[in-house]
Structure 1
Amino acid sequence: MTTTRSNKRTGGTKPAEQNPDLFDQAPASLVLDEFQMLKRFITNMEDNVYCVTNLPEEFIAVLFAWVSRSPKSFKEHVLQAIKDGFIDPAKILENPYEQLSDKAAAFHEKWVVGYGHSSVAEHANAHVGVERVSRLASAELELSNEHYAITEYSQRYQKPVRGAWFNPFERWINHSGPTRDMHENPAWIAYEGFMNECFDVFEELIDGVYKHLTEGKFYPSADSEIARINATAMKLSFEDARYALPLAMFTQLGMTANGRSWRDGLSNLYASDYAEVHDMTNKLKREITKVLPTLLKHADPSEYQAKSKKRMKARFPETFVKGKALQPVALYDFPLEGHALREIVTHEIVRAQGLTINEARARAGTYSTEELKEIVLELIWEMGKYDAPPESFKQIHYQFSMLISEANWHQLLRHNRKTAFTFAPPNVHSGITIPPRIKEAGLEHKLVELAAKAEEFFGTLSPGIREYVVLNAHRRQILADCNLWEMYHLINLRTSEEAQWDIRQAFNDLYEQLKFAHPTLISAAKRR
């Protein structure tokens, strides 16, 4: 493993060391004007975690949507919106974070904090920008509460840059900053060397896949069409090459949640195994409290959660078995279709006729299996590709397992809020997923060799640090529980041609198993 790099390729330090000032290149007078303008909308101008406030709700939705397709920060987008006339700072109050009156604050203190009427906190929202956190930390954040609204930077559409990664090691030994006799931490140097090797392979895969997709191909004569084809080939190239990148790579998120969701989520985050997550959680609490000063009173570390987690780790020590054959996708628990059909019809009878559950079940029991199928098919007849499934479908549950790449897992957890997940920690022992285009280009060996280096390096690092070197290609075990309503959503969305190939393949496998188990119930799930 290479551990030394030229000055051109250093970087990847702690966020505070790497974060360039947004206004470094602007004239001093302009810097002050911009700073004062943005202070009305951003709770913290110096940090990478902050709330976005005092803006129209629909604009905030657009602002957060931009993050998926743009490398710019939220601050830069807000500033550009001001310059373009979409926001008029003159109409915003001088006091950007208007506080509650003493009487209103006392009410919240008594009823929300004192008496535990947490539902009151559901009416107050905080919009948060989180930048320059690792993908490892972003997954912990997204999974800490199921009620977040999330938009995240997409590695499918935005090409990562060298050095944009989190390094959990302190750079300098014995000193807090550069001095004449300082020296760099060998652990920091080794980590940087590995990250740069990953990025080397990432760039080599981009070049190789792009060459494979474009060389010797017939092109139309129109320059615009050639440019479009080349752009598509480049997008596909770095979309697949990103499987060589580790979970340490930086990402950014736009998030919206109510006070209760933030409180519960932050409490869960304090039980994380990662120091980066604890630091991020403290910043989230600090910034959200500026907007919701009373409603986050119980967003504290839970001694119970920490001790319970520790007890389970002691009882079930880590025992990953390298190379163990596991089925990629398995539907392992579900009702017989006849029972499921009868349950759905039972709920439709209650909805239509107001019978008791026993009366409705007795009525549904008089129908033959064929009649039950006919009723359910009538229920879903003419369902369009954007229509929601019947509410009665929420009564039928499935459990399935997936052995999927980290790249796949990060897509699944982002766009799915109605599935209960149990997931193994990031690891290097469950094999890797190799994108088909990398195989077709004859570059499979590069990813295999890099994964072997990651596995070796992983073994030298301690828990809480080693997970950062897990690659997007590495797989982990996921268990999931969802109802038929959610299954319709997942199959319809994730098996479409627009879906990324990895997650599409996983859900096509699941869909085939569902068709075998429940051919009638699942018949209208795939509608795109």
Structure 2
Amino acid sequence: MSEQFQRQIYLLSPRQLSPETIAVTFAKTSRSPLTFREIADELTDEKSAEFHEKWVVGYGHASVAEHAVLHIALENISRLATECIESNRLASYTEKSTRYQMWAPGGYHLPREVVGGSREPIYRKCCDRLFQAYHDSLEPVGRLIRKRLPRKEGESDSAWENRTRSKYVDACRFLLPAAALANVGMTINARALEHAIRKMLSHPLAEVREIGQTIKEVAQTEVPTLVKYADQVPYLTATREDLTAYAAKLGLDRSNGSLRLIDYDPEAESRVMAAALYAHGTCSFEQALAHVRLLEEGARLDLAKTILERLDRFDIPVRELEHATYTFEALIDQGAYLELKRHRMMTQTPQRLTAKEGYAVPKLITEAGFETSYREAMNAAVEAYHELAGWNPHVAAYLVPNAFNRRVLMTLNLREVYHLCELRSQPNAHFSMRRLALLMAELVQQVHPMLAAFMRLPEMTNWREIEEEHFTQV
């Protein structure tokens, strides 16, 4: 084979080329016979900007912008603001964890909407009280955990603290309000970032709009063309306002149950099996589905085993599982939701965070003798929330602690069910998420027992035991 046709695989390094130039280099290969290196050598930042202005902005070839990738560091933003930022599916995020770090006193966001007004003292008093209760809880709950997990022989102070910290911080975090500050690292391509900025600039909270504007300015130092037209979207703001007014007429329905399976395809198992056969054969899907429908129980089980039985610990199930979808409504504490929202291979529709759905009480809080102080802090948060909610429910949400329940509608496929349930049911996961994951697995196993039977879940554990062990109240 001539040298011209030898396989070549190499990096276009962002240390040498700007993100916009890399994007143009890849875009031009569709019409240029040159190698990527040769294309890049012909480009300058100015030529790249001109290309994007003409083709991406002018003609709408937005996929080109996906080759321009940015790594954005966001520090001291509220946990409430992270919800909008991390709602963008096509990005990667790492966030300061409430499980492994402790929040410093006063580490909360003061929204522009209340600064200098009569509501600022109400807001500050509530946040200060919640943070004080959080810090007051650390010592008694930590002491209880250290008593239950004594120092091992030869174990250093720091090693012992690291081993026990998440156990008691997991319970104390329920006191932190949504205003608590966090850091987030985000890796995102310019196309997705433009969409994210538009959502942020259209958000009802001033903090989120300001973050969106700053991200836009920071991003333009690397991709000056690709996000410069990201602006507020009137469609988003007007639609949100009208739907909020309409939905208010429906009132408040206090549904029971922390997780309900409200929709699924009864024939999804057959469809998944048929899709798996279709992928490796030459028949039509209708033919494969008709075949599976005629299989006896034993033969169907054998086919399910062929598809899933060989899964090893780190294996990802075949994509055909995505043909089975489920819709759940969850009523979970805000702390659990902040972990659930990271599972972006699903469609999530959360309701606005409020203090109207009750709150959870971790059993460790009770056993450490801190329940009275805990409930007093929760009641104070409810009172402050309602004082602000009549004026601005979006701002009032900052005051809602992680303990309060929130409703979330989510639609996900069986492949994501496997991922979520296997990951979040492990012993090292937070007990709120373990409870949710094991309940989800149980509900799916009830309707699709053959395909759900191969989930790699911890043995001898169920969600009822976790609820009994870890919660005084849910």
State TM-score, norm by structure 1.
0.75
Q: Does residue 397 of the first structure (1) align with residue 328 of the second (2)?
A: no
Matched, 1:108 2:52: yes
Structure 2 residue aligned with 1:62: none
Secondary structure at the counterpart of residue 222 of structure 1: coil
Query: Which residue is 1:377 aligned to?
Result: 305
Does the CA-based 8 Å contact 1:341-1:372 persist in structure 2?
no
SS in 2 for 1:126: strand
User: What is the aligned partner in structure 1 of residue 99 from structure 2?
Assistant: 156
1:233 corresponding residue in structure 2: 164
Which of 112, 116, 131 is the equivalent residue of 1:199?
131
Name the structure 1 match of 2:238: 307
Per mean C-alpha deviation after superposition, the further-off stretch among 351-360 and 503-512 is 351-360
TM-aligned CA deviation for residue 212 of structure 1: 2.2
Q: For 1:220 and 1:458, locate their aligned partners in 2 and report how far apart those are by CA, in whole Å.
A: 42
Q: Specify the alignment match of 2:180 in structure 1.
A: 249
Paired residue secondary structure (2:182)? strand
CA separation of 1:320 and 1:150: change in aligned 2, threshold 3 A? farther
Letter in 2 for 1:346: A
Name the SS for the 1:291 alignment partner. coil
1:457-507, Cα deviation, whole Å (9 max, x unpaired): 111113231111000111100111000111110111011112111111111
Deviation at 1:209, TM superposition (A): 0.8
What are the within-5 Å matches in structure 2 for residues 316-465 of structure 1? 316-317=247-248, 321=252, 324-336=254-266, 339-414=267-342, 416-461=343-388, 462-463=391-392, 464-465=394-395
Structure 2: any 5+ residue segments left out of the alignment? 1-13, 19-42, 459-474
State how far apart, in whole Å, the 2-side matches of 1:374 and 1:129 are: 49
The alignment partner of 2:330 has SS state of: strand
1:174-213 aligned at under 5 Å gives the runs 186-213=118-145
Specify whether residues 221 and 484 from structure 1 end up closer, same or farther in structure 2 by C-alpha distance, changes over 3 A only: closer
2:4 corresponds in structure 1 to none
The answer to whether the Cα contact below 8 Å between 1:320 and 1:429 also exists between their aligned partners in 2 is no
* Corresponding position of 2:36: none
Alpha-carbon distance change, 160 to 318 in structure 1, aligned in 2, over 3 angstroms:
farther
Check 1:226–1:284 CA distance in 2 against 1; reply closer, same or farther (3 A cut): closer
User: Cα–Cα, structure 1 residues 314 and 355, in superposed 2: closer, same or farther, change >3 Å?
Assistant: same
CA distance 1:505–1:55, shift in 2 (3 Å) = farther
Q: Which residue of 2 aligns with 1:222?
A: 153
Question: Are residues 1:135 and 2:79 paired?
Answer: yes
Q: Which residue of 2 aligns with 1:480?
A: 410
Alpha carbons of structure 1 residues 228 and 190: separation in structure 2 relative to 1, 3 Å: same
Cα distance between partner residues in 2 of 1:210 and 1:192: 27
Match of 2:212 in 1: 281
Encode CA deviations 1:154-184: one digit per residue, 9 max, x unaligned. 01111110111111157875xxxxxxxxxxx
Structure 2 equivalent of residue 16 of structure 1: none
Match of 2:68 in 1: 124
Q: Structure 2: how far apart are the matches of 1:170 and 1:397? A: 41
| Residue in structure 1 matched with residue 424 of structure 2 by the alignment | 494
Q: What's the Cα RMSD here?
A: 2.4
1:14-53 equivalences in 2 (<5 Å)? none
Separation of aligned partners in 2, 1:447 and 1:513: 33
Deviations 1:107-136 (A, max 9, x none): 211111011111111111011000111000
Distance in 2 (alpha carbons) for counterparts of 1:426 and 1:194: 16
Paired with 1:435 and 1:281, the residues of 2 have a C-alpha distance of: 36
TM-score, normalised to structure 2, is 0.83
- In the alignment, the residues of structure 1 paired with residue 448 and residue 122 of structure 2 have an alpha-carbon distance, to the nearest angstrom, of 52
- Looking at structure 1, the residues matched to 151 and 203 of structure 2 have their Cα atoms a distance apart, in angstroms, of 53
Paired amino acid for 1:248: A
Deviates more, 1:436-445 or 1:278-287: 436-445
- Residue 433 (structure 2) pairs with residue 503 (structure 1): yes
1:436 Cα deviation (Å)? 2.0
Deviations 1:16-52 (A, max 9, x none): xxxxxxxxxxxxxxxxxxxxxxxxxxxxxxxxxxxxx
Note the C-alpha offset of 1:290: 1.2
The structural deviation recorded for 1:221 is 7.0
Q: CA deviation at 1:390?
A: 1.2
2:215 & 2:401 partners in 1: Cα distance?
Answer: 27
Q: Give the letter for the 1:470 counterpart.
A: V
SS of 2:248's equivalent in the other structure is coil
SS in 2 for 1:127: strand
Pick from 189, 195, 200 the counterpart of residue 264 of structure 1: 195
- Indicate conservation of the 8 Å contact 1:400/1:481, yes or no: yes
| Distance 1:425-1:384 versus aligned 2 partners, 3 A rule | same
Distance 1:259 1:497 in 2: 38
**Structure 1 residue 251: deviation in Å?**
0.3
Q: Does structure 1 conserve the Cα–Cα contact (< 8 Å) formed by 2:216 and 2:228?
A: no
Unmatched runs of 5 consecutive residues or more in structure 1: 1-52, 58-98, 174-184
